Chain A
């Protein structure tokens, strides 16, 4: 069923793409159906889930790897699932109007619906690896969505940064999940959560840190938060959906999911508290300085995500409830606000707050949605946002009461400060865009393209749901309680209410609202202060620098490895081949290898030949011209041939002689055609290098011969005796070599003949190529590096 839902979303995406929806409003409305139906189905499951009957589904994918596709619809899964599918339905409709008449709309739908399927799979998953699979799916699809306006460099950079940061986090998380799975002996989340003793596992801290990295990158926690504002270059429906309502909460979801199994240790507690707290404050702080509506909302989102992370540090009832209510509230006000930002952009052509004013009157329906959303974002009573903030403060206050003063005050104080900042930026947005009569900037923007009803419908419905929620807390508990229970693993019955009487918490809240209003009034100073902050501390710039550093490291490494002459590379390969010989020598001694030479006498001719060999070889190396080098090389060859004659191997000698003569003739023919070698003589160092490599190769050859002739290294009778014995009776030939070549090992010969045929074919093809082209590389090869060759090729 659930997998069917995911597949149907994906297929709907393809159908939407295929139907070219950009000028067919009906398809925009139809696109609401798939996510809408999934929402309805989930809503219908809620009573069952509240009663503790979870819907599960499992397919084996790769049992050998513990990889299943398994889903389990508990309270947490359905809470997130409803947000994903519900907001998704709204965004689907909105998209059609936002990308009005753009031919690429279908492509956006495909990416959007693929993302939706991945995100639903992620929140429904009951297997760590399933979760990872869908997690990667969201990363890739969000990459495509962020980079949708790919002609803009900003969109491409934003997409890249988001993908790299979340991708890195995803892979770190994968390692953490595998560690976790291997420690627990299962990748099933419900089994891991139910199992005890994970906290005592040797890999607990490593796994938790890696999972933190995954969650923090996805949910834009400090110090990875920078990608989220960068991702605002995405089309607004994607920003609203991915970067506020759903994907950025995947990290929060992961932490909530693993909360019962991993929480309650100092690492978990302080890690989440500190990083969440920092994120909360810097997000709220920077939001005030932004003039772009989407940027403001993005930083506000970062801040809200920080709060949620911080809340998950705790296990108390208040904290867990605050997290659940926070997730829900945030989706219901921030998502619509993003959508509103898109409508404003569409209607006026700008999102710059300094150029906007009085939109409440100009586009009243949109304005209404905006005002309701902003009030909730500010956390003013009686909104959902207010409720979430109250729970956060309650949690801090309770901790102080229980003697955990430090953590308690951190939460309480931090929450109050963040509350004030929330009020400040919310009021700024409300006043400047919707209420005031006149814009700051001289080139004030006006509504030239009022939104149609379908465009406004999605944000309006979502924000109305959010506004109604605090008054429906009774039925809503059916959704909130199971989710909270899943996070804390203890049954929670919430008694949420908007009004608790005049408690210290409420008073603090009111003080925060008051100081927020003051901040709003003095926002001009605040903005100037923020603008004067040094630019090079911004995360995206640092990231860019790091990336550039990585690329330059890559270039330098590659140049070091690959940019050499052919001789240089050949030398490396030869030297590497020395290593095994040295290693083998360490297992034995030269004396063991040296053959027994007693009684062997070197005859006169042999001595002369040996001497000639050395002299000829020396002459080849020292030769000034190519011709003399070839001739002395020929002498070397013929001398070797004579050795074969001495040791009565006439076949071998004959073959060798043929080869020597042929080589000589060919070389002479070729070199005759070549122009003179006008290269400068090689430097001392290079010469020494060549001598060294040649020496090593020679020693290797010598040692190999020793190995072959050594009695101690012999591991069995050679099979050659068989050939001697059977050549005549079975092979019907008196020449053993011939019989081996054409009978015993005729298959080898067939292969070698093929090699010759292919070589001939190649020679023919090369000769058919224009001659001038052919010679130049041959001449230059010896001392050009690849980079030079590349240039040369380009010139050609």
Chain B
């Protein structure tokens, strides 16, 4: 497969966004339509590329692209393996699914202020973070992501958004600072930033270096992922942007943090997965529990949903904790289960946020105490919300069930009773919280606090723009649940690949600087010779 394909998920959104910015300055309605159309095309192509990559890597291959033709570790490397392409695909799906919803609900002011290019920049950052094979390059894409999401947060200019935007950006910048410190340490002690090269050198590095680097990365990625006690930025900000934006954030942003945790611990510190297991599982348990308790105490639909993100990230980290553990189940089962859970979570969380957003727009408020009785007015929305809610709570046959069951099996198989017990209790509290949302919103006497009459779902076109994506994502969740085995085989391949440190290094083939002492010894590849190589 042509490795240049790896650049597409980054370059395509970037160039499309630039194009959109160029046409957005004139501002009329027609040009908004043009923006929407171009965005849709870009997202479709992006999905196609992601699927092609997934198809290739999930048959056990890795794809490596050395940017500018500079041999690793000197240039920048992009790497795709199963884990990467699964997440690329998920990001592509969510962006594509949210687009109609955004077209139906985003206000004209935001569209004019560059909503579409901004989402494409966000996609570029997310895709880049998944593909990065270089620690500093990962940092750069984190910055792209952070800046694009910050602007998307604040673009409305409402006071609540500016408040939350400041919290969001300051706390995230601190996490980025920690990441930057880690990158500095990596370069200072290991002498390299290429991730494969780092993994190679970390095998012989001093334990102090390893501990320091792993710890700093854990703190900064953990903060991005929303782990306890670093998640503060998330509940302060996620409920303020429009639902379409929140669906992108809630579905994907924390998962980039989770991905980097998975990647760094399997590639750099596989031995710490064992040595630090109590820490990882402890953090996972605390995150699950504090997150769900937070959700129980929130007064609005979207605040409840944002706390649930935290709680569910805990499950994924629990999977990381038992990634290489287990007695009867195969090695890597835990990681495979965690990736499966991630897929489930990305789909269902976005679905639920969209459904919650539809409620909020329809009712003019999503404050639980002030709304109610929607079931008789909007039966279709009610059904979709209910199914999404129970999917999140882990009720069969939706995806939540198989993914939670696999995590429960591996934690019990490896004898971690406490965290397994916590995960079960948290499941129950999640179910409670989801049905509480349902009860307060859809049951009871009809209460409509908004000043305007309900309008969202009256126009047929808008109804389908809003409900279509929700239904489509639900079908995906159902499919993931019903054909769980196929997907589990895929995540298992991805997990095995991720745990195969030597395979990753061999695919990137970083050379030692000593072996290319001078220019005369380096005729192998010239900058004009674009490309990389297949494994």
* Pair from one complex: yes
Given A573-B230, A708-B184, A726-B519, A758 and B189 contact (CB-CB distance below 8 Å): no
By a CB distance below 8 angstroms, the chain A residues around B137 are 745, 747-748, 751
A137 in contact with B396 given A147-B439, A557-B290 (CB within 8 Å)? yes
For the complex, give the distance between the alpha carbons of A725 and B516 in Å: 10
Chain A contacts of B219 at CB under 8 A? 573, 576-577, 579-580
CB-nearest residue of chain B to A110: B383
Question: Which A residue sits closest to B217, measured CB to CB?
Answer: A580
Which A residues are in CB contact (< 8 Å) with B211? 580, 583-584, 587
Q: Would you list which residues of chain B between 290 and 316 have a CB under 8 Å from chain A?
A: 290, 293-294, 296-298, 307
Chain B, Cβ-Cβ closest to A550: B296
Q: Are A765 and B296 in contact (CB under 8 A)?
A: no
Contact partner of B170 (CB less than 8 A), chosen from A570, A701, A712, A769, is: A570
- Is A171's CB under 8 angstroms from B144's CB? no
- Verify A136–B395 contact, CB threshold 8 A: yes
Decide: A713 and B522 in contact? CB cutoff 8 A.
Answer: no
Contact partner, B232, options A572, A583, A792, Cβ 8 Å: A572
Stretch with Cβ within 8 A of B (4 or more), from A56-64, A224-232, A390-398, A452-460:
A56-64
Contact B189 A554 (CB under 8 A): no
Whether A558 and B208, one on each chain, are in contact in the complex, defined by CB atoms closer than 8 angstroms, is: no
Whether A793 contacts B160 in the complex (CB less than 8 A), given A64-B492, A751-B137, comes out as yes
Q: Is the CB of B517 within 8 A of A725?
A: yes
* Interface size range on B against A: 35 or more
Known A-B contacts A566-B171, A708-B184; the reply to A715 vs B190 at CB < 8 A is yes
With an 8 A cutoff between CB atoms, is B339 at the interface?
A: no
A555→B190 contact, CB < 8 A: no
Q: How far is the CA of A551 from the CA of B505 in the complex (A)?
A: 50
Nearest B-chain residue to A764, judged by Cβ: B113
- Please tell me if the beta carbons of B424 and A759 are within 8 angstroms of each other in the complex: no
Cβ of B215 and Cβ of A156 under 8 Å apart? no
Chain B interface helix/strand/loop/mixed:
helix
Q: Within 8 Å CB of B233, what residues of A?
A: 569
Q: Which of B68, B157, B163, B223 contacts A744 (CB 8 A)?
A: B68
Residue A163 interfacial (CB < 8 Å): yes
Within 8 A of B (CB), among A576-600: 576-577, 579-581, 583-585, 587-588
Q: How far is the CA of A164 from the CA of B435 in the complex (A)?
A: 10
Distance to closest chain A CB from B183 (angstroms): 11
Residue pair B208, A714 in contact (C-beta under 8 Å): no
Residue of B nearest to A552 (CB): B297
Tell me the bound Cα distance from A132 to B216 in angstroms. 42
Known pairs A175-B424, A718-B513; A573 contacts B171 (CB<8 A): yes
**Chain A residues within an 8 Å CB radius of B202:** 715
Distance, CA A747 to CA B66, complexed state (A): 10
Assuming A713-B206, A755-B143, is B424 touching A171 (CB within 8 A)? yes
Contacts of B503 in A (CB 8 A): none
Residues of A within 8 A of B170 (CB): 566, 570
Residue B30 interfacial (CB < 8 Å) = no
- Stretch from A403-411, A604-612, A774-782 forming part of the interface with B: A774-782
**Which residues of B from 375 to 424 have beta carbons under 8 Å from A?**
375-376, 379, 390, 395-397, 401-402, 405-406, 408-409, 412-413, 420-421, 424
How long is the Cα–Cα vector from A67 to B482 in the complex, in angstroms? 11
Q: By the criterion CB–CB under 8 Å, are B420 and A175 in contact?
A: yes
Contact B208 A587 (CB under 8 A): yes
Evaluate contact between B154 and A766: CB separation under 8 angstroms. Answer: yes
- For B191, give its contact among A159, A719, A743, A789 (CB under 8 Å): A719
Partner of A569, one of B171, B178, B228, B488: B171
- For A781, the chain B residues whose CB sits under 8 A away are 163, 166-167
B157 touches which of A747, A761, A773 (Cβ 8 Å): A773
Q: Confirm or deny: B458 has a beta carbon within 8 angstroms of a beta carbon on chain A.
A: no
Whole-angstrom distance from the CB of A765 to the nearest CB of chain B?
A: 4
Closest Cβ of chain A to B332, distance in Å, is 12
Q: Which A residues lie within 8 Å of B103 (CB)?
A: none
Minimal beta-carbon separation of B285 from chain A (angstroms)? 14
Closest partner residue, chain A, to B77 (CB atom): A747
- When the two chains form their complex, are residues A717 and B191 in contact, meaning their CB atoms are under 8 A apart? yes
Q: Is the CB of B526 within 8 A of A581?
A: no
Does any Cβ of A come within 8 Å of B48's Cβ?
Answer: no
Complex CA–CA separation, A755 to B17 (angstroms)? 13
Task: For the complex, count residues of A whose C-beta is within 8 A of B.
Answer: 120
Is A685 interfacial (CB 8 A cutoff)? no
How far is B201's CA from A191's CA once the two chains are assembled, in angstroms?
51
Q: A168-B428, A573-B223, A713-B189 are in contact. Are A777 and B159 (CB under 8 A)?
A: yes
List the B side residues contacting A745 at CB < 8 Å. Answer: 75-76, 136-137
Q: B218 to nearest A CB, angstroms?
A: 7
- Neighbouring A residues of B260 by C-beta, 8 Å: none
User: How many angstroms from the CA of A572 to the CA of B121 in the assembled complex?
Assistant: 30
Judge whether B477 is part of the interface by a CB distance below 8 angstroms: no
Alpha-carbon distance between A64 and B518 when the two chains are bound, in angstroms: 53
Judge whether A752 is part of the interface by a CB distance below 8 angstroms: yes
Q: Are A140 and B390 in contact (CB under 8 A)?
A: yes
Do the beta carbons of B206 and A747 come within 8 Å of each other? Answer: no
Smallest CB separation, A246 vs chain B (Å)? 19
CA distance A743 to B68 in the complex (A): 7
Would A174 and B208 count as touching, CB distance under 8 A?
A: no
Residues of chain B with a CB closer than 8 A to A175's CB:
408, 412, 420-421, 424
B424, A172: Cβ atoms under 8 Å? yes
Q: Please, how many angstroms separate the alpha-carbon atoms of A717 and B188 in the complex?
A: 10
In the complex, whether A686 has a CB less than 8 A from a CB of chain B is no
* Minimal Cβ-Cβ distance residue in B for A771: B157
B229 touches A777 (CB 8 A): no
Q: Are B209 and A715 in contact (CB under 8 A)?
A: yes
Let me know if A561 is at the binding interface, CB within 8 A: yes
User: Bound state CA distance, A721 and B191, in angstroms?
Assistant: 10
Q: Is the CB of A584 within 8 A of B215?
A: yes
Is B464 an interface position by the 8 A CB rule? no
Q: Is B460 engaged at the interface, CB distance under 8 Å to the other chain?
A: no
A715 and B206 in contact, given A151-B445, A754-B144, A758-B121 (Cβ under 8 angstroms): yes
Partner pick for A160 among B439, B488, B513, CB 8 A cutoff: B439
Query: Is A164 touching B428 in the complex (CB atoms < 8 A)?
Result: yes
Query: Is there an interface contact between B75 and A65, defined as CB atoms closer than 8 Å?
Result: no
B155's contact among A558, A588, A726, A765, by CB below 8 Å, is which? A765
- The answer to whether A65 and B147 have CB atoms under 8 Å apart is no
B157 adjacent to A566 (CB under 8 Å): no
Please tell me if A43 contacts chain B, counting CB pairs below 8 Å.
no
Fill in one digit per residue for A96-119: 1 if any B CB lies within 8 Å of its CB, else 0. Answer: 000000001001000000000000
Contact with B along A625-649 (1 / 0, CB 8 A): 0000000000000000000000000
> Hey, which chain A residues are within 8 Å of B488, CB to CB?
62, 64-65
Task: Say whether A472 faces chain B, with CB atoms less than 8 Å apart.
Answer: no
Given contacts A713-B189, A773-B157, A774-B157, contact A758 B144 (CB under 8 A): yes
A759 touches B147 (CB 8 A): yes
| A770: interface (CB < 8 Å) | yes
- CB < 8 Å neighbour of A174 from B157, B187, B212, B424: B424
How far is A707 from B68 in the complex, measured between Cα atoms in Å? 32
On whether the beta carbons of B159 and A62 are closer than 8 Å, the reply is no
Identify 16 new A-B residue pairs, CB closer than 8 A, beyond the known A708-B187, A723-B74, A751-B141. Answer: A132-B396, A133-B401, A182-B409, A557-B297, A558-B293, A573-B174, A576-B219, A580-B219, A587-B206, A715-B190, A717-B512, A717-B514, A747-B75, A754-B144, A761-B114, A776-B159
11 contacts between A and B (CB under 8 A): A62-B406, A63-B485, A561-B294, A573-B219, A579-B219, A584-B209, A588-B206, A747-B76, A755-B143, A761-B118, A774-B162
**Chain A residues at the B interface, C-beta cutoff of 8 Å:** 60-67, 104, 107, 129, 132-133, 136-137, 140, 143, 147, 150-151, 153, 156, 159-160, 163-164, 167-168, 171-172, 174-175, 178-179, 182, 185, 550-551, 553-555, 557-559, 561-562, 564, 566, 569-570, 572-574, 576-577, 579-581, 583-585, 587-588, 700-701, 704, 707-710, 712-723, 725-726, 729-731, 743-748, 750-752, 754-755, 757-759, 761-762, 764-766, 768-770, 773-774, 776-778, 781, 786, 789, 792-793, 796
Per CB-CB distance, the 5 closest pairs between chain A and chain B, nearest first, are A580-B215, A769-B157, A708-B188, A762-B151, A718-B191
